[in-house]
Copies of this chain bind each other. A is one copy, B any other.
Amino acid sequence: MANRIPVGVLGATGMVGQNFIRLLENHPWFEVVYVAASPQSAGKTFAEAVKGRWHMSTPLPAKVSHLIVEDAGNVKAAQGKCALLFSAVDLDKKAIAALELAYAAAGFAVVSNNSAHRGTPDVPMVIPEVNPEHLDVIHCQRQARGWTTGCLVVKSNCSIQSYMTPIWALMQAGFAPKRIILTTLQAVSGAGYPGVPSLDIVDNIIPYIGGEEEKSELEPLKIFGRLENGVIVNNSEITISAHCNRVAVIDGHTACVSLEFAGAKPKLEEIIPLWRAFRAVPQELELPMAPKNPILYNDEPNRPQPRKDRDLDKAMAVTVGRLRKCHVFDIRFVGLHHNTVRGAAGGAILTAELMKAKGFIG
């Protein structure tokens, strides 16, 4: 654990920030030495700042508890303390966009959980098992923006992670999708804290999550896009329709997916072995946060289920089940992932590990 890279967390007191703190506690490569949050928290120890609102089910890591929280708006405060910053700041979208650029311009490698820069063409949105080569945009980003050591990389929305890797595994095998209609059943932790009122979710579901369907329909196109002239050009051959629902589940987003292929169609019996055999760059590089098997297929007729499958392989695996013929499109399946780990902090950490392995950090 010696010689770990010092890292910081922006927005460290919020739900995603707390997950970063929790997941990085014993990380072999990274060590949290810097925490920043809103001006109200600044100046307090981290323990004081989260008093009464530490929402993790593991205790507050001792080392981090003593760190003094800095003002996340103060870019200079982080200088000299760390090279990598995980961003989970909670501001309006425009302010986040500006702040993350300021950190990158100041020389920090920034990996953001926010949506502010997901549409920025020279900012890669990375799922490490799917589009690791998009990190190469960082070179163009640095050149175009005059940055040297700094860079900005973002994580995609949590709602899409239950099916992106399974679909990518099919694409890799030559089976490109054309049209996808899907419905998600999303956990309440995705809305942060206090988030969803209990009066809206006990004995109820909410068939709407603001902005989620738009992100679910657009972000996959960038992730499945190609590098061209220093930016990422969206895939224009896939159309997606997403219905997003909130359900009474603490963690774990489930997606029911119907998919039509563009050209070659795999046989049903080909797909499961293909998913089970799928490995990608994070597995080859044996990144610390990488699941051994990115896609787990469960043969039981009634799986995956959030409470029973979300924690598999450090909560970083996607569990798939119920592969069957679709009477309207070609195939149907159900995918599940842990939204606050794989879909948020854990996915961002894996991305940072990939950046480190590829030489973009430090």
Contact (Cβ within 8 A) B203 A302: no
Q: Does A332 contact B (CB under 8 A)?
A: yes
Contact (Cβ within 8 A) A327 B206: no
Which residues of A from 147 to 179 have beta carbons under 8 Å from B? 179
Contact (Cβ within 8 A) A197 B199: no
Q: Assuming A327-B241, A332-B243, is B188 touching A199 (CB within 8 A)?
A: yes
Q: How far is the CA of A80 from the CA of B316 in the complex (A)?
A: 42
Q: Assuming A207-B305, A327-B239, A332-B243, is B256 touching A300 (CB within 8 A)?
A: no
How many chain A residues sit at the interface, stated as a range, is 35 or more
Residue in B185, B189, B197, B247 whose CB lies within 8 Å of A195? B197
Q: Assuming A181-B258, A185-B205, A188-B202, is B250 touching A307 (CB within 8 A)?
A: yes
Q: Does A277 contact B (CB under 8 A)?
A: no
Interface string of A3-33 (1 = CB under 8 A from B): 0000000000000000000000000000000
Q: How far is the CA of A204 from the CA of B52 in the complex (A)?
A: 16
Chain B contacts for A305, CB-based, 8 A: 200, 204-207
Residue of B nearest to A305 (CB): B204
Give this chain's copy count: 4
Chain B contacts for A58, CB-based, 8 A: 311
Q: How far is the CA of A247 from the CA of B252 in the complex (A)?
A: 14
Q: Does A308 contact B (CB under 8 A)?
A: yes
Contact (Cβ within 8 A) B188 A247: no
Chain B contacts for A254, CB-based, 8 A: 205, 207, 245
Contact (Cβ within 8 A) B249 A203: yes
Contact (Cβ within 8 A) A202 B202: yes
Chain B contacts for A322, CB-based, 8 A: 207-208
Chain B contacts for A201, CB-based, 8 A: 198, 202
Contact (Cβ within 8 A) B306 A205: yes
Interface string of A51-83 (1 = CB under 8 A from B): 010010111000000000000000000000000
Contact (Cβ within 8 A) B183 A243: yes
Q: Does A140 contact B (CB under 8 A)?
A: no
Which residues of A from 257 to 306 have beta carbons under 8 Å from B? 258, 300-306
Residue in B180, B197, B217, B328 whose CB lies within 8 Å of A198? B197
Q: How far is the CA of A311 from the CA of B59 in the complex (A)?
A: 10
| Residue among A201, A239, A329 with most chain B CB within 10 A | A201
Q: How far is the CA of A94 from the CA of B258 in the complex (A)?
A: 33
Q: Does A123 contact B (CB under 8 A)?
A: no
Q: How far is the CA of A196 from the CA of B217 in the complex (A)?
A: 32
Residue of B nearest to A53 (CB): B300
Q: Assuming A249-B202, A250-B202, is B207 touching A328 (CB within 8 A)?
A: no
Interface string of A232-249 (1 = CB under 8 A from B): 000000011101010111
Contact (Cβ within 8 A) B198 A302: no
Contact (Cβ within 8 A) A59 B312: yes
A236 CB to nearest chain B CB (Å): 13
Chain B contacts for A300, CB-based, 8 A: 52
Residue of B nearest to A240 (CB): B327
Q: How far is the CA of A176 from the CA of B147 in the complex (A)?
A: 57
Given A206-B305, A210-B301, 19 further pairs, Cβ under 8 A: A58-B311, A179-B328, A180-B328, A183-B183, A183-B243, A185-B185, A185-B205, A202-B248, A202-B307, A205-B249, A205-B254, A206-B302, A207-B304, A207-B305, A207-B321, A208-B302, A240-B327, A240-B328, A243-B332
